[in-house]
Structure 1
């Protein structure tokens, strides 16, 4: 089987047409030490000897050398060399500034008393030292560098090292790289302490160390639009039995914002290594690992990993984790979220890592905690490792540095003076500016009064979204204010991280505590979520929805500022985090009720409603009084119009919480949120994650496992041990029935969030009083009705504002009216 796949891969390389050639603006190909032109991989290398109009070489001493006994089948490009016995240089006129490839070809031979293997020299490019004290051992070597050229002249200097030293070169390539080949933003700096953004990547000089076609065969420059060589990965696999080749016969689906054929050729994205789960010697969960030897000294590397999902049959099936040097580099990577809802769409992710003194760059991919037991997998299509080196020439650069320090001091003084003047004018104008009145919140206030968050009710005068489609402009915050609030994004203030980026704790100028979510600027996956979050949260205000305080999009930043939730995500309080006391049953019920109120408002507070699409315990946050608020609206969608039953859309959400009907039919309704909330209810009751692949097969999926116990009437057997003896049977019965209805297979059989809220309030009342309130209109309560004058039943929430409800959601309604609604179908 492996041989057949290898043959197929060879056929793909030979017969699939090469992508349209990239045409660089600057393109110098030199056959050094010769007057002849030579062709290699359909590219013409010109002789570098002096010709009219091609005078690249300076008038320094150099020798043209020709091999008398070239190796058989070797390229004529390596039969000649230019030898430098003293400092010599080439000069090129550059048409376009920006990132360029520079390649040096070295192939040692002996002729006319020179043994090129004994050459020792350095090469400087516009004063930047690239190969330093370079000395070859044996075979042909290609040294490739990627760097930014910001002048219209390129000087390449060969400088012999030592009195008897000399240098040489067989061929050179200098050509413009594609636009955005190296981006200044979006790279992930991986450290043992976590992941953060790495900026200004294009200012670094990159030396290519490895370029790997994972799962495929060797690709020559003939099969690459940038004339690169990609080698197979077998020699670097740590445990070959862990990996299995995957091959696609279809050309990749390139998309705007993803990888292009210039980032890597088709054949890289058409092959991969995936987890070999058929091997009897492996457990169900393991990583595929590659070790790449590097110099055994502390250095920094750019690791570019290439992905293309050629193993899945549908979107959102593949979740996996990426590790570099044993550190988590990308958790819960979902390739579907990096592409525009299409399988086999190439993407790449840049990581910056320090090698330490291990002498190895280790890359691993393995299953995510979000992977279902039937779909555990991880893939890698390609890998590039580039050493980051930016050692400047000490003399010339030092003089330039002194000059720039002097110029910078003068300019800096002028800038500071102008800034002070501008600040004084701004303050003067600000004093005259009238205060804006905060837009009134909409929605309803719950009957039960919980302790309010410090910032649940914002003070009047705070700028919020004004009416109209562009009202969210009032939420714009200057980047400088956010830098100040987070102490310039101090690592010690990090309180969370996710696919969008890092979350920092901050304090604004008015002493308001906030959570600052900083996305990676230019992130292809984050931009739609960023815009959705602003659009949704600028329109809504509700006590049980996390409030958006502001946002920033200066300098390619994507920053969202929320009210700070002191107690963090609900999930943290369920799984025994250090220093946290277990939540009581009453606290858990109140938290579920609060979250249900927030969701009910989302579903019914607008003509079309809003569907959250990512309800889970990590997206329910708690303030200092344990009041629950729904958060993270990046995947939210408007609900169907009045004459529609659903919204047709690509599947988004989190594994374990995802509505199976939505997954199958790709038809979204508010009942998809109800399903996810049902999983949260069982999570709250059982204090275990929605998916746990470490457990026995029948227990992996919480929803399926808990439903089995619920249907057997033995739900009390699987509750959180901390709750044993706390829950009254009637309250547990009502809670279990509610969760079961939420998890109905078909959405039409699930309750609305209003119904869910009614039943949770009922479960809380049963827990507090032990008495039964009147039967809900669904007729499922068979216990006797006991109405106490001291206990006023909660009003069943519905999609229509109740009579007497004011604009703030408070109710002025008599007890008799309450009971009339409870006892008649019209009230529902």
Structure 2
């Protein structure tokens, strides 16, 4: 019998043999390769899997059962033997260097005496993660690959039969160190676009590892022993794709990916657009993958420009599902102006109910000076563990730690003792929780998040706000108990769901007094969490405006994050434009909605000492009440604007694709003009009534903002407007509206109008639609944005038609509600608020 020291020596020798052909390869500190059920070592692709009996000291199992077969159908010698684990069994691996490790499990079911491995049913766990739950393999071979960050000096790999009549098996296994740079802690999210941190805490399962445009790459040709499969089986339309190979062109540069990230045989092959079959190149190349719903996925995209003859010849877009994750990607810029330099991008998806994952590439729509083309060299899709620490279903470590078995005296005694201890603990916990609840109750008496002016109460019941009276002395009334939320939503009845967002689901609710409310319940697995919850409360408790959705209260019991808003009877602007059975909005209704939304945003930007930047302006965040009055909603991503002596706020990029300010995306510098850009996209969305990103359309139509700007610049926007509006818009009104949207989408923020200027022009577009203003020289003018009338710029000017009573009433809400002229009713200086 070999000791652990001898095992390590043998494993070290096998590592040297494996790395002999890879001078730049990674030398793993921990490198356990076990040929389970075999009495002898086995060399596979230059790696030596040690005999199972050599590893017996690291295995704890009720029985030592070695299984073998002489079947001719087995193509890999590792599958000719197996270890039968008839009962809870554990492999305990000493770890020399904590960090991320590969765990690879090899399975092939065959029959050995009384054990038919296709009938085996078991779970596998490692550290605090469930790798497999109730796993059963009927036929064929399978390799399951995981990477887990091991934080202690040992790794315990547990095999647990599902019940007393079942068993587990494994043909071979690996536990191998992973280079630190392979999985960093951060990535990009795709909905909304932003930063993700915490990958080091995640266990990952490799679901797909694909070599685009190339053949299978075996573990012996990869420095980390990985397998890469061809992409042909995943291509949605093979006729649109063309495989290319130029391995000699691959140049690894300092600071970029190494061969450990992906070998030259991955970066040296690619799939590009097959433009020869489609002369106009109006298409995307798309791959489809089957995934398990209910999980997040880490998607790694590998790029290397092996098709261009010089720099800056290739610009293309990349999409994941319906989201654009990279626009006008120029690989030569990404890697220090070097052709053929590898580059990769990591993205984390949100939770999805879909069992399909789609990745697409297509040419740039805006950069027309180069030939349309797009490439992808490699792709990795890795499943991330869920909130229970599981990579397989809803099981958790506690659920699989003990299999079902026949009762015995010991079990009965254990259960009795367990129940007794549980009762004692429950009583203790109840007393502790009660004390904490009383302490929290006392604390909440002093917290007044809805205090607006330091007074005892604030009337929000003006004819403009449609609100209620908030009493700052009774803030506990606005901290709803969880039971009240259950009652209001019929225990969160799914049929009461009126919307789903990044934070969670939104339910229609009815309070006990009959008040209709919208209840937004945070999803604990959402990427938007406590920070967004607090931001929403802080923002809406300090700002009140008839065009901002009012916050009624919140609930934070039982680790819940629930926000309660006034109910908006007519839902989102988006649903009234497309994708539903709702009747089409008239042009006047659309203008009124845009004007109301602009008023709300203008108030955010100017209503306090420092501007509030919304950061997620889109049609889905503009809600309509029973009278179709618009209110801006969802302030979870909002951020305070720059100080007086600053021009911007430096911050991580967040927002929604299609609406995101490209200057903010490039420079990560946020200003109010980022909201203006997003609102400009909404304006085009309003007039064209279509999604802002639609990858299923021809390439020049995928991005609404780019497509609409193309038509606007040649003065023919009327060719793409909503057919329901055809012949119903006055030309002057359309021209004014379109010019406003165009100015909002200027490439640089300094060239965009303020929200006050946008509001001025939208009000004017409405007046041009309703009637011709006599003797007004602006009627037939394009009226460049920013040339405001003296009325707007003069803070001291108030028309005599504005009475003292009107001013007094307005002070309860916002002075922007006062009509100060026959045309422009919203533009009183912000200092009056």
What's the TM-score once normalised by structure 2's chain length? 0.62
Is contact 1:369–1:691 with CA below 8 Å preserved after alignment? no
Task: Pick the aligned partner of 1:809 from 814, 819, 826.
Answer: 814
Is contact 1:215–1:272 with CA below 8 Å preserved after alignment? yes
Is contact 1:616–1:680 with CA below 8 Å preserved after alignment? yes
Is contact 1:145–1:207 with CA below 8 Å preserved after alignment? yes
Is contact 2:285–2:362 with CA below 8 Å preserved after alignment? no
Is contact 2:593–2:630 with CA below 8 Å preserved after alignment? yes
Partners of 1:504 and 1:537 lie apart in 2 by: 19
Partners of 2:365 and 2:416 lie apart in 1 by: 58
Is contact 1:269–1:306 with CA below 8 Å preserved after alignment? no
Partner of 1:310: 303
Is contact 1:758–1:796 with CA below 8 Å preserved after alignment? no
**Structure 1 segment 106-505 matched on structure 2, within 5 A:** 120-121=116-117, 141=141, 144=144, 171=172, 173=174, 212-213=210-211, 217-221=215-219, 228-234=226-232, 237=235, 239-244=237-242, 276=273, 278-280=275-277, 284-285=282-283, 288-289=286-287, 306-308=299-301, 310=303, 318=317, 320-322=319-321, 331-332=322-323, 334=325, 344-347=344-347, 349=349, 364-366=358-360, 381-383=379-381, 396=405, 438-440=450-452, 452-453=465-466, 463=475, 489-498=492-501, 501-505=504-508
Is contact 1:516–1:561 with CA below 8 Å preserved after alignment? yes
Is contact 2:660–2:678 with CA below 8 Å preserved after alignment? yes
Q: Residue 680 of structure 2: SS of its match in structure 1?
A: helix
Q: Residue 568 of structure 1: SS of its match in structure 2?
A: coil
Partners of 1:694 and 1:352 lie apart in 2 by: 20
Alpha-carbon deviation of 1:573? 1.5
Task: Pick the aligned partner of 2:34 from 4, 29, 37.
Answer: 29
Partners of 1:558 and 1:213 lie apart in 2 by: 43
Deviations 1:632-684 (A, max 9, x none): 44554544443444556676655554556666777654334334433433443
Deviations 1:152-194 (A, max 9, x none): 98776999x99xxx99976555789999x99xxx9x9xxxxxx
Partner of 1:789: none
Task: Pick the aligned partner of 1:516 from 520, 526, 542.
Answer: 520
**Structure 1 segment 612-651 matched on structure 2, within 5 A:** 612-646=614-648
Cα 1:349–1:18, aligned 2, differ >3 Å: closer, same or farther? farther
Partner of 1:103: 105
Alpha-carbon deviation of 1:519? 4.5
Partners of 1:352 and 1:694 lie apart in 2 by: 20
Cα 1:157–1:118, aligned 2, differ >3 Å: closer, same or farther? same
Cα 1:268–1:723, aligned 2, differ >3 Å: closer, same or farther? same
Alpha-carbon deviation of 1:538? 5.5
Partner of 1:670: 672
Partner of 2:756: 754
Partners of 2:525 and 2:692 lie apart in 1 by: 31
Q: Residue 603 of structure 1: SS of its match in structure 2?
A: helix
Partners of 2:790 and 2:470 lie apart in 1 by: 27
Task: Pick the aligned partner of 2:545 from 542, 545, 556.
Answer: 542
Partners of 2:611 and 2:733 lie apart in 1 by: 31
Partner of 2:603: 601
Partner of 1:470: none
Partner of 1:568: 571
Is contact 2:124–2:133 with CA below 8 Å preserved after alignment? no
Deviations 1:121-146 (A, max 9, x none): 46676899999998888xxx565487
Is contact 1:207–1:388 with CA below 8 Å preserved after alignment? no
Alpha-carbon deviation of 1:521? 2.4
Cα 1:440–1:38, aligned 2, differ >3 Å: closer, same or farther? same
Partner of 1:577: 580
Is contact 1:50–1:57 with CA below 8 Å preserved after alignment? no
Alpha-carbon deviation of 1:625? 2.7
Partner of 2:309: none
Partners of 2:179 and 2:730 lie apart in 1 by: 67
- Structure 2 gap segments, 5+ residues each: 1-18, 126-131, 190-200, 306-311, 328-332, 335-342, 384-390, 799-806
Partners of 2:20 and 2:775 lie apart in 1 by: 73
Cα 1:167–1:743, aligned 2, differ >3 Å: closer, same or farther? closer
Deviations 1:732-783 (A, max 9, x none): 565455445545566555432222223333444555565459779999779x
Deviations 1:382-402 (A, max 9, x none): 246997698999751777998
Is contact 2:88–2:160 with CA below 8 Å preserved after alignment? yes
Cα 1:285–1:811, aligned 2, differ >3 Å: closer, same or farther? closer
Deviations 1:348-395 (A, max 9, x none): 55978898xxxxxx7543479998797997967024699769899975
Deviations 1:98-149 (A, max 9, x none): 99947357699xxxxxx97997346676899999998888xxx565487999
Paired residues in the alignment total 718
Partner of 1:592: 594
Is contact 1:372–1:655 with CA below 8 Å preserved after alignment? no
Is contact 2:122–2:161 with CA below 8 Å preserved after alignment? no
Deviations 1:433-477 (A, max 9, x none): 7586532179xx9xxx9764457x75655649xxxxxxxxx9987
Q: Residue 105 of structure 2: SS of its match in structure 1?
A: strand
Partners of 1:485 and 1:601 lie apart in 2 by: 32
Cα 1:371–1:497, aligned 2, differ >3 Å: closer, same or farther? farther
Q: Residue 580 of structure 2: SS of its match in structure 1?
A: coil
Is contact 2:642–2:648 with CA below 8 Å preserved after alignment? yes
Partners of 2:427 and 2:611 lie apart in 1 by: 52
Is contact 2:549–2:566 with CA below 8 Å preserved after alignment? yes
Partner of 1:17: 24
Q: Residue 601 of structure 1: SS of its match in structure 2?
A: helix
Is contact 2:58–2:93 with CA below 8 Å preserved after alignment? no
Partners of 2:269 and 2:347 lie apart in 1 by: 13
Cα 1:351–1:497, aligned 2, differ >3 Å: closer, same or farther? closer
Partners of 1:702 and 1:797 lie apart in 2 by: 32
Partners of 1:304 and 1:663 lie apart in 2 by: 23
Is contact 2:28–2:176 with CA below 8 Å preserved after alignment? no
Cα 1:345–1:744, aligned 2, differ >3 Å: closer, same or farther? closer
Partners of 2:531 and 2:317 lie apart in 1 by: 21
